[in-house]
Amino acid sequence: MEDLEAVVDSLGLEKFALLGLSHGGALSIAYAARHPERVSHLILYGASALGRAKARSSMRDLEELNAMLTLTRVGWGTGNPAYEQLFTSIFMPDGKVEERHWFTELQKKSTSPENAVRFIKEFLQINVQDLLPRITVPTLILHSRGDLVLPFEDGRDLATRIADAHFVPLNSRNHILMEDEEAWKEFLVETRRFLGVSELARVDREDDRSVAQAKELVSLLERTSEIELSKYRVVGSYTRYDEKTRNVLKDLKQKIVAGLQSSNASKHENYLIWARPGSGKTFFVKQVTETLAHPKPKTEKMQGSLERNRGNVEYVHLNLAEVEESEARSILSATEKSERPNLFFIDEVDGKSGKSWPYETLLPYLDSSKVTPRVFVLAGSSGDSLAEMKSLIASRPKGADLISRIPDNNQYEIPSMSLEDKILVTLANLRLAGRDTGRDVAEVGKTGPVLRG
Protein backbone atom coordinates (compact mmCIF):
# COMPACT_ATOMS: atom_id res chain seq x y z
CA MET A 1 0.00 0.00 0.00
CA GLU A 2 2.77 2.44 0.95
CA ASP A 3 4.51 1.87 -2.40
CA LEU A 4 1.32 2.70 -4.34
CA GLU A 5 0.71 5.78 -2.20
CA ALA A 6 4.29 6.94 -2.81
CA VAL A 7 3.95 6.54 -6.60
CA VAL A 8 0.64 8.43 -6.66
CA ASP A 9 2.09 11.27 -4.56
CA SER A 10 5.31 11.51 -6.57
CA LEU A 11 3.33 11.78 -9.82
CA GLY A 12 1.15 14.50 -8.32
CA LEU A 13 -2.07 12.60 -9.07
CA GLU A 14 -5.06 14.11 -7.28
CA LYS A 15 -7.81 11.91 -8.75
CA PHE A 16 -7.54 9.01 -11.16
CA ALA A 17 -9.09 5.76 -12.38
CA LEU A 18 -7.52 2.73 -10.69
CA LEU A 19 -7.21 -0.64 -12.47
CA GLY A 20 -6.57 -3.74 -10.35
CA LEU A 21 -5.60 -6.91 -12.21
CA SER A 22 -5.56 -10.37 -10.64
CA HIS A 23 -4.06 -10.21 -7.12
CA GLY A 24 -3.46 -6.51 -7.66
CA GLY A 25 -7.22 -6.15 -7.28
CA ALA A 26 -6.95 -6.61 -3.51
CA LEU A 27 -4.39 -3.79 -3.29
CA SER A 28 -6.64 -1.57 -5.42
CA ILE A 29 -9.58 -2.33 -3.13
CA ALA A 30 -7.51 -1.39 -0.07
CA TYR A 31 -6.37 1.86 -1.70
CA ALA A 32 -9.90 2.83 -2.79
CA ALA A 33 -11.20 2.13 0.72
CA ARG A 34 -8.49 4.29 2.30
CA HIS A 35 -8.49 7.09 -0.30
CA PRO A 36 -11.98 7.28 -1.87
CA GLU A 37 -11.49 10.97 -2.66
CA ARG A 38 -8.58 10.17 -5.00
CA VAL A 39 -10.17 7.31 -6.99
CA SER A 40 -12.63 8.40 -9.69
CA HIS A 41 -13.31 4.85 -10.95
CA LEU A 42 -12.30 1.41 -9.68
CA ILE A 43 -11.88 -1.36 -12.28
CA LEU A 44 -11.18 -4.93 -11.13
CA TYR A 45 -10.33 -7.73 -13.55
CA GLY A 46 -9.79 -11.35 -12.52
CA ALA A 47 -9.65 -10.24 -8.89
CA SER A 48 -10.54 -11.73 -5.53
CA ALA A 49 -10.98 -10.47 -1.99
CA LEU A 50 -9.71 -13.72 -0.49
CA GLY A 51 -6.51 -15.69 -1.10
CA ARG A 52 -6.83 -19.39 -1.84
CA ALA A 53 -5.23 -20.37 1.48
CA LYS A 54 -7.97 -18.40 3.24
CA ALA A 55 -10.79 -19.63 1.02
CA ARG A 56 -9.89 -23.32 0.94
CA SER A 57 -9.11 -25.42 3.96
CA SER A 58 -9.44 -29.09 2.95
CA MET A 59 -6.37 -31.34 3.07
CA ARG A 60 -6.51 -31.81 -0.71
CA ASP A 61 -6.57 -28.05 -1.29
CA LEU A 62 -3.55 -27.54 0.97
CA GLU A 63 -1.66 -30.33 -0.82
CA GLU A 64 -2.38 -28.68 -4.17
CA LEU A 65 -1.10 -25.33 -2.91
CA ASN A 66 2.10 -26.85 -1.53
CA ALA A 67 2.67 -28.69 -4.81
CA MET A 68 2.26 -25.43 -6.72
CA LEU A 69 4.84 -23.71 -4.49
CA THR A 70 7.32 -26.53 -5.07
CA LEU A 71 6.81 -26.49 -8.84
CA THR A 72 7.20 -22.72 -8.89
CA ARG A 73 10.47 -22.94 -6.96
CA VAL A 74 12.03 -25.46 -9.37
CA GLY A 75 10.35 -24.56 -12.67
CA TRP A 76 9.73 -20.80 -12.74
CA GLY A 77 11.13 -19.27 -15.94
CA THR A 78 13.24 -22.34 -16.85
CA GLY A 79 11.67 -22.86 -20.27
CA ASN A 80 11.29 -26.58 -19.51
CA PRO A 81 8.30 -27.69 -21.65
CA ALA A 82 6.77 -29.63 -18.77
CA TYR A 83 6.74 -26.63 -16.42
CA GLU A 84 5.76 -24.26 -19.23
CA GLN A 85 2.76 -26.46 -19.98
CA LEU A 86 1.79 -26.45 -16.30
CA PHE A 87 1.87 -22.67 -15.80
CA THR A 88 0.34 -21.70 -19.14
CA SER A 89 -2.44 -24.28 -18.79
CA ILE A 90 -3.51 -22.36 -15.68
CA PHE A 91 -2.92 -18.75 -16.72
CA MET A 92 -3.68 -18.99 -20.46
CA PRO A 93 -5.07 -22.41 -21.42
CA ASP A 94 -6.12 -21.10 -24.85
CA GLY A 95 -2.84 -19.30 -25.55
CA LYS A 96 -0.85 -19.98 -28.71
CA VAL A 97 2.66 -21.46 -28.66
CA GLU A 98 4.36 -18.08 -29.09
CA GLU A 99 2.22 -16.60 -26.32
CA ARG A 100 3.24 -19.41 -23.99
CA HIS A 101 6.89 -18.79 -24.78
CA TRP A 102 6.31 -15.08 -24.07
CA PHE A 103 4.84 -15.95 -20.69
CA THR A 104 7.91 -18.03 -19.83
CA GLU A 105 10.18 -15.13 -20.81
CA LEU A 106 8.06 -12.80 -18.69
CA GLN A 107 8.56 -15.12 -15.70
CA LYS A 108 12.30 -15.19 -16.25
CA LYS A 109 12.68 -11.40 -16.57
CA SER A 110 10.18 -10.26 -13.94
CA THR A 111 11.51 -12.04 -10.85
CA SER A 112 13.50 -14.96 -9.50
CA PRO A 113 11.94 -18.33 -8.56
CA GLU A 114 12.54 -17.57 -4.87
CA ASN A 115 10.72 -14.22 -5.09
CA ALA A 116 7.92 -15.81 -7.12
CA VAL A 117 7.35 -18.25 -4.27
CA ARG A 118 7.34 -15.39 -1.75
CA PHE A 119 4.80 -13.48 -3.85
CA ILE A 120 2.53 -16.52 -4.16
CA LYS A 121 2.67 -17.14 -0.40
CA GLU A 122 1.55 -13.55 0.19
CA PHE A 123 -1.19 -13.80 -2.43
CA LEU A 124 -2.51 -16.94 -0.73
CA GLN A 125 -3.02 -15.00 2.52
CA ILE A 126 -4.91 -12.04 1.04
CA ASN A 127 -8.10 -11.04 2.83
CA VAL A 128 -9.75 -7.67 2.12
CA GLN A 129 -13.35 -8.80 2.62
CA ASP A 130 -13.85 -6.38 5.53
CA LEU A 131 -12.98 -3.46 3.22
CA LEU A 132 -15.60 -4.21 0.56
CA PRO A 133 -18.50 -2.39 2.31
CA ARG A 134 -16.27 0.71 2.49
CA ILE A 135 -15.90 0.98 -1.30
CA THR A 136 -17.99 3.99 -2.35
CA VAL A 137 -16.44 4.83 -5.73
CA PRO A 138 -18.01 3.67 -9.03
CA THR A 139 -16.79 0.10 -9.56
CA LEU A 140 -16.61 -2.17 -12.61
CA ILE A 141 -15.79 -5.87 -12.13
CA LEU A 142 -14.87 -8.16 -15.03
CA HIS A 143 -14.03 -11.86 -14.73
CA SER A 144 -13.46 -14.76 -17.14
CA ARG A 145 -15.98 -17.55 -16.72
CA GLY A 146 -13.34 -20.28 -16.97
CA ASP A 147 -10.59 -18.56 -14.94
CA LEU A 148 -8.44 -21.23 -13.22
CA VAL A 149 -6.22 -18.83 -11.25
CA LEU A 150 -8.98 -16.99 -9.38
CA PRO A 151 -12.38 -18.64 -9.87
CA PHE A 152 -15.29 -16.90 -11.57
CA GLU A 153 -17.22 -17.09 -8.30
CA ASP A 154 -14.67 -14.79 -6.68
CA GLY A 155 -15.48 -12.01 -9.15
CA ARG A 156 -19.21 -12.50 -8.71
CA ASP A 157 -18.73 -12.41 -4.92
CA LEU A 158 -16.95 -9.05 -5.20
CA ALA A 159 -19.85 -7.66 -7.21
CA THR A 160 -22.39 -8.66 -4.54
CA ARG A 161 -20.35 -7.16 -1.70
CA ILE A 162 -19.42 -3.80 -3.29
CA ALA A 163 -22.38 -1.43 -3.38
CA ASP A 164 -23.69 -0.65 -6.90
CA ALA A 165 -20.81 -2.50 -8.59
CA HIS A 166 -21.34 -3.42 -12.26
CA PHE A 167 -20.35 -7.02 -13.05
CA VAL A 168 -19.37 -8.20 -16.55
CA PRO A 169 -18.74 -11.94 -17.14
CA LEU A 170 -16.31 -12.62 -19.99
CA ASN A 171 -16.51 -15.74 -22.17
CA SER A 172 -12.93 -16.91 -21.81
CA ARG A 173 -10.86 -19.51 -19.99
CA ASN A 174 -7.81 -17.27 -19.82
CA HIS A 175 -6.71 -15.41 -16.72
CA ILE A 176 -4.44 -13.38 -19.02
CA LEU A 177 -6.68 -12.33 -21.91
CA MET A 178 -5.29 -12.77 -25.42
CA GLU A 179 -5.32 -9.88 -27.88
CA ASP A 180 -7.24 -11.76 -30.59
CA GLU A 181 -10.05 -13.18 -28.42
CA GLU A 182 -13.50 -11.65 -28.18
CA ALA A 183 -13.26 -11.38 -24.40
CA TRP A 184 -10.39 -8.87 -24.75
CA LYS A 185 -12.44 -6.72 -27.12
CA GLU A 186 -15.38 -6.86 -24.72
CA PHE A 187 -13.07 -5.91 -21.85
CA LEU A 188 -11.96 -2.77 -23.76
CA VAL A 189 -15.51 -1.80 -24.76
CA GLU A 190 -16.89 -2.18 -21.23
CA THR A 191 -13.97 -0.35 -19.64
CA ARG A 192 -14.19 2.59 -22.05
CA ARG A 193 -17.95 2.79 -21.58
CA PHE A 194 -17.49 2.76 -17.80
CA LEU A 195 -14.93 5.58 -18.02
CA GLY A 196 -17.16 7.60 -20.36
CA VAL A 197 -14.88 7.28 -23.39
CA SER A 198 -16.69 6.65 -26.67
CA GLU A 199 -14.90 4.63 -29.34
CA LEU A 200 -14.91 7.24 -32.11
CA ALA A 201 -14.20 10.19 -29.84
CA ARG A 202 -11.41 8.21 -28.20
CA VAL A 203 -9.68 7.53 -31.52
CA ASP A 204 -10.02 11.13 -32.73
CA ARG A 205 -8.83 12.63 -29.45
CA GLU A 206 -5.92 10.21 -29.16
CA ASP A 207 -4.79 10.93 -32.73
CA ASP A 208 -4.97 14.71 -32.21
CA ARG A 209 -3.37 14.48 -28.78
CA SER A 210 -0.58 12.20 -30.01
CA VAL A 211 0.35 14.59 -32.82
CA ALA A 212 0.26 17.63 -30.53
CA GLN A 213 2.25 15.93 -27.79
CA ALA A 214 4.82 14.62 -30.26
CA LYS A 215 5.36 18.15 -31.57
CA GLU A 216 5.68 19.53 -28.04
CA LEU A 217 8.15 16.82 -27.08
CA VAL A 218 10.31 17.37 -30.17
CA SER A 219 10.25 21.12 -29.51
CA LEU A 220 11.31 20.58 -25.91
CA LEU A 221 14.18 18.30 -26.86
CA GLU A 222 15.31 20.61 -29.66
CA ARG A 223 15.42 23.60 -27.29
CA THR A 224 17.15 21.71 -24.52
CA SER A 225 20.38 19.84 -25.20
CA GLU A 226 20.63 18.89 -21.55
CA ILE A 227 17.78 19.06 -19.06
CA GLU A 228 19.16 20.45 -15.81
CA LEU A 229 16.66 19.40 -13.19
CA SER A 230 17.61 22.17 -10.75
CA LYS A 231 16.55 24.77 -13.32
CA TYR A 232 12.92 23.69 -13.04
CA ARG A 233 12.79 22.97 -9.31
CA VAL A 234 10.23 24.80 -7.18
CA VAL A 235 10.91 23.04 -3.90
CA GLY A 236 12.39 19.63 -3.09
CA SER A 237 11.43 17.22 -5.86
CA TYR A 238 8.48 19.33 -7.07
CA THR A 239 9.24 20.78 -10.52
CA ARG A 240 7.31 22.88 -13.05
CA TYR A 241 8.37 23.67 -16.61
CA ASP A 242 6.64 27.03 -17.13
CA GLU A 243 8.68 29.86 -15.62
CA LYS A 244 5.66 31.96 -14.66
CA THR A 245 4.05 29.01 -12.83
CA ARG A 246 7.37 28.24 -11.18
CA ASN A 247 7.76 31.80 -9.91
CA VAL A 248 4.20 31.91 -8.55
CA LEU A 249 4.75 28.69 -6.62
CA LYS A 250 8.15 29.83 -5.36
CA ASP A 251 6.45 32.97 -4.05
CA LEU A 252 3.89 30.80 -2.25
CA LYS A 253 6.64 28.58 -0.86
CA GLN A 254 8.59 31.56 0.48
CA LYS A 255 5.49 32.97 2.14
CA ILE A 256 4.73 29.64 3.82
CA VAL A 257 8.32 29.30 5.04
CA ALA A 258 8.38 32.90 6.30
CA GLY A 259 5.14 32.33 8.18
CA LEU A 260 6.52 29.24 9.88
CA GLN A 261 9.74 30.98 10.83
CA SER A 262 8.14 34.27 11.88
CA SER A 263 9.35 35.82 15.13
CA ASN A 264 5.80 37.11 15.62
CA ALA A 265 4.47 33.79 16.89
CA SER A 266 0.90 35.03 17.35
CA LYS A 267 0.59 35.94 13.66
CA HIS A 268 -0.90 33.11 11.61
CA GLU A 269 -0.98 32.89 7.81
CA ASN A 270 -3.85 31.40 5.80
CA TYR A 271 -3.69 30.48 2.09
CA LEU A 272 -6.21 29.23 -0.47
CA ILE A 273 -5.23 27.17 -3.54
CA TRP A 274 -7.39 26.16 -6.49
CA ALA A 275 -6.00 23.53 -8.85
CA ARG A 276 -7.40 20.85 -11.10
CA PRO A 277 -6.83 17.22 -10.05
CA GLY A 278 -3.36 16.09 -11.07
CA SER A 279 -1.59 19.41 -10.51
CA GLY A 280 0.39 18.01 -7.58
CA LYS A 281 -0.73 20.51 -4.95
CA THR A 282 -0.54 17.89 -2.19
CA PHE A 283 2.99 16.92 -3.22
CA PHE A 284 3.99 20.60 -3.35
CA VAL A 285 2.97 21.23 0.27
CA LYS A 286 4.65 18.01 1.41
CA GLN A 287 7.87 19.06 -0.28
CA VAL A 288 7.78 22.42 1.51
CA THR A 289 7.52 20.52 4.78
CA GLU A 290 10.32 18.12 3.80
CA THR A 291 12.59 21.05 2.99
CA LEU A 292 11.97 22.58 6.40
CA ALA A 293 12.44 19.26 8.16
CA HIS A 294 15.61 18.34 6.30
CA PRO A 295 17.32 21.56 5.13
CA LYS A 296 20.38 21.31 2.91
CA PRO A 297 23.22 23.48 4.30
CA LYS A 298 24.98 25.78 1.85
CA THR A 299 28.15 25.95 3.94
CA GLU A 300 29.66 24.01 6.83
CA LYS A 301 29.25 27.12 8.97
CA MET A 302 25.48 26.86 8.64
CA GLN A 303 25.40 23.18 9.61
CA GLY A 304 25.05 23.67 13.37
CA SER A 305 22.18 26.15 13.08
CA LEU A 306 20.33 23.99 10.58
CA GLU A 307 20.71 20.87 12.70
CA ARG A 308 19.04 22.67 15.58
CA ASN A 309 16.10 23.65 13.33
CA ARG A 310 15.71 20.20 11.79
CA GLY A 311 12.31 18.67 12.38
CA ASN A 312 10.91 21.88 13.91
CA VAL A 313 7.81 21.97 11.68
CA GLU A 314 4.87 19.65 12.32
CA TYR A 315 2.88 18.76 9.20
CA VAL A 316 -0.86 18.12 9.59
CA HIS A 317 -2.82 16.76 6.61
CA LEU A 318 -6.61 16.85 6.83
CA ASN A 319 -8.80 15.83 3.89
CA LEU A 320 -12.31 17.14 4.51
CA ALA A 321 -13.84 14.83 1.92
CA GLU A 322 -12.39 11.79 3.67
CA VAL A 323 -12.95 12.42 7.38
CA GLU A 324 -16.02 12.79 9.54
CA GLU A 325 -16.58 15.61 12.03
CA SER A 326 -15.32 13.78 15.14
CA GLU A 327 -12.08 12.75 13.45
CA ALA A 328 -11.46 16.23 12.06
CA ARG A 329 -11.96 17.83 15.46
CA SER A 330 -9.69 15.24 17.08
CA ILE A 331 -6.86 15.88 14.59
CA LEU A 332 -7.07 19.64 14.99
CA SER A 333 -7.40 19.64 18.76
CA ALA A 334 -4.35 17.39 19.11
CA THR A 335 -2.18 20.16 17.64
CA GLU A 336 -3.06 22.51 20.49
CA LYS A 337 -0.53 20.69 22.66
CA SER A 338 2.28 21.08 20.12
CA GLU A 339 5.02 23.61 20.84
CA ARG A 340 6.39 23.43 17.30
CA PRO A 341 5.31 25.52 14.29
CA ASN A 342 2.41 23.83 12.46
CA LEU A 343 1.84 23.58 8.71
CA PHE A 344 -1.77 22.54 8.09
CA PHE A 345 -2.76 21.26 4.67
CA ILE A 346 -6.58 21.20 4.47
CA ASP A 347 -7.30 19.28 1.26
CA GLU A 348 -10.69 19.12 -0.47
CA VAL A 349 -11.73 22.22 1.48
CA ASP A 350 -14.68 22.38 -0.92
CA GLY A 351 -15.76 18.84 0.01
CA LYS A 352 -18.69 17.81 2.19
CA SER A 353 -20.85 20.45 0.46
CA GLY A 354 -23.99 19.30 2.24
CA LYS A 355 -22.51 19.65 5.73
CA SER A 356 -22.15 22.74 7.93
CA TRP A 357 -19.53 21.38 10.36
CA PRO A 358 -16.36 21.65 8.18
CA TYR A 359 -16.11 25.45 8.25
CA GLU A 360 -17.54 25.74 11.74
CA THR A 361 -14.73 23.43 12.85
CA LEU A 362 -11.97 25.23 10.93
CA LEU A 363 -12.75 28.85 11.76
CA PRO A 364 -11.63 28.81 15.44
CA TYR A 365 -8.26 27.40 14.38
CA LEU A 366 -7.80 29.97 11.61
CA ASP A 367 -8.39 32.65 14.24
CA SER A 368 -6.41 30.91 17.00
CA SER A 369 -4.21 33.07 19.25
CA LYS A 370 -1.84 30.16 19.91
CA VAL A 371 1.69 31.49 20.41
CA THR A 372 3.48 29.10 18.03
CA PRO A 373 3.53 29.98 14.29
CA ARG A 374 0.80 28.38 12.22
CA VAL A 375 0.23 28.29 8.49
CA PHE A 376 -3.00 26.95 6.99
CA VAL A 377 -3.04 25.97 3.31
CA LEU A 378 -6.60 25.29 2.13
CA ALA A 379 -6.92 23.59 -1.26
CA GLY A 380 -9.73 22.49 -3.56
CA SER A 381 -10.63 21.82 -7.19
CA SER A 382 -14.34 22.51 -7.63
CA GLY A 383 -15.50 24.78 -10.44
CA ASP A 384 -13.33 25.90 -13.34
CA SER A 385 -11.35 28.59 -11.55
CA LEU A 386 -10.40 30.04 -8.18
CA ALA A 387 -13.25 32.54 -8.46
CA GLU A 388 -15.82 29.78 -9.06
CA MET A 389 -14.55 27.71 -6.15
CA LYS A 390 -14.67 30.76 -3.84
CA SER A 391 -18.24 31.40 -4.93
CA LEU A 392 -19.22 27.82 -4.15
CA ILE A 393 -17.52 27.96 -0.75
CA ALA A 394 -19.12 31.32 0.08
CA SER A 395 -22.60 29.89 -0.61
CA ARG A 396 -22.19 27.37 2.21
CA PRO A 397 -22.77 27.94 5.95
CA LYS A 398 -19.82 29.94 7.33
CA GLY A 399 -18.23 29.83 3.86
CA ALA A 400 -18.06 33.61 3.48
CA ASP A 401 -16.45 33.82 6.93
CA LEU A 402 -13.86 31.27 5.86
CA ILE A 403 -12.98 33.20 2.69
CA SER A 404 -12.68 36.45 4.69
CA ARG A 405 -9.87 34.89 6.72
CA ILE A 406 -7.68 34.59 3.61
CA PRO A 407 -6.17 37.80 2.14
CA ASP A 408 -6.51 38.25 -1.62
CA ASN A 409 -2.73 38.11 -2.09
CA ASN A 410 -2.69 34.72 -0.34
CA GLN A 411 -5.02 33.11 -2.90
CA TYR A 412 -3.44 31.09 -5.72
CA GLU A 413 -4.56 29.31 -8.88
CA ILE A 414 -2.18 26.52 -9.96
CA PRO A 415 -2.25 25.59 -13.68
CA SER A 416 -2.66 21.95 -14.73
CA MET A 417 0.46 19.97 -15.57
CA SER A 418 1.62 20.20 -19.17
CA LEU A 419 3.40 17.47 -21.15
CA GLU A 420 6.71 19.11 -20.24
CA ASP A 421 5.76 19.01 -16.55
CA LYS A 422 5.03 15.28 -16.79
CA ILE A 423 8.43 14.71 -18.41
CA LEU A 424 10.06 16.58 -15.54
CA VAL A 425 8.17 14.44 -13.02
CA THR A 426 9.62 11.35 -14.70
CA LEU A 427 13.12 12.80 -14.60
CA ALA A 428 12.73 13.84 -10.97
CA ASN A 429 11.71 10.28 -10.11
CA LEU A 430 14.77 9.05 -12.00
CA ARG A 431 16.91 11.30 -9.86
CA LEU A 432 15.37 9.94 -6.66
CA ALA A 433 16.01 6.40 -7.91
CA GLY A 434 19.64 7.36 -8.54
CA ARG A 435 19.99 8.63 -5.01
CA ASP A 436 18.59 5.39 -3.68
CA THR A 437 21.47 3.58 -5.39
CA GLY A 438 24.01 6.02 -4.01
CA ARG A 439 24.50 8.01 -7.23
CA ASP A 440 23.33 11.54 -7.99
CA VAL A 441 21.50 12.26 -11.25
CA ALA A 442 22.51 15.87 -11.75
CA GLU A 443 21.12 16.31 -15.25
CA VAL A 444 19.66 14.32 -18.12
CA GLY A 445 20.96 14.51 -21.64
CA LYS A 446 19.35 13.26 -24.84
CA THR A 447 21.20 9.97 -24.52
CA GLY A 448 20.33 9.38 -20.87
CA PRO A 449 21.02 10.40 -17.28
CA VAL A 450 24.30 11.99 -16.22
CA LEU A 451 25.34 10.24 -13.00
CA ARG A 452 27.73 11.55 -10.39
CA GLY A 453 29.15 9.82 -7.35
**Whole-number Å distance between alpha carbons of 370 and 266:** 6
Residue 416 · residue 381 · CB < 8 Å: no
Note the pLDDT of residue 53.
59
2-199 shares its CATH topology with 262-411: yes
Fold of 262-411: Rossmann fold (3.40.50)
Distance CA 40, CA 133 (A): 17
**Total H helices, total E strands in the chain:** 18, 14
pLDDT tens series, the chain, 453 aa: 788 888 888 888 889 999 999 989 999 999 999 999 999 999 999 999 987 655 555 667 667 777 777 877 887 767 677 676 777 788 888 888 888 878 877 877 787 888 888 888 888 888 899 999 999 999 999 999 999 888 899 999 999 999 999 999 999 999 999 988 999 999 999 999 999 876 544 444 445 555 555 555 555 544 444 456 678 888 888 888 888 999 999 999 999 988 888 766 556 789 999 988 778 888 888 888 887 764 443 333 333 333 333 347 888 999 888 889 999 999 999 888 878 888 999 998 988 877 889 999 999 988 877 667 889 999 998 888 899 899 999 999 999 999 999 999 999 999 888 877 877 777 666 655 555 555 554 444 443 444 444
Asked if 229 and 442 count as a contact pair (C-beta separation under 8 A), the reply is: yes
What would you report as the CA-atom Rg of the chain, rounded to the nearest whole angstrom?
A: 26
Q: Which of 388, 398, 309 lies closest to 352 in space, CA to CA?
A: 398
Question: What CATH topology corresponds to 2-199?
Answer: Rossmann fold (3.40.50)
**What is the Cα–Cα distance from 175 to 4, expressed in whole angstroms?**
23
CA dihedral (65, 68, 74, 79) in degrees, to 10, reads -160
Residue 262's identity, in one-letter code, is S
Quote the pLDDT of residue 288: 87
Give the pLDDT confidence score for residue 453 in this predicted structure. Answer: 46
Structural domain boundaries in the chain: 2-199, 200-229+419-452, 262-411
DSSP code at position 263: S
**Alpha-carbon gap, residue 134 to 148, rounded angstroms:** 28
* Contact between 248 and 280 (Cβ < 8 Å): no
| CB-CB contact of 380 with 349 (8 Å) | yes
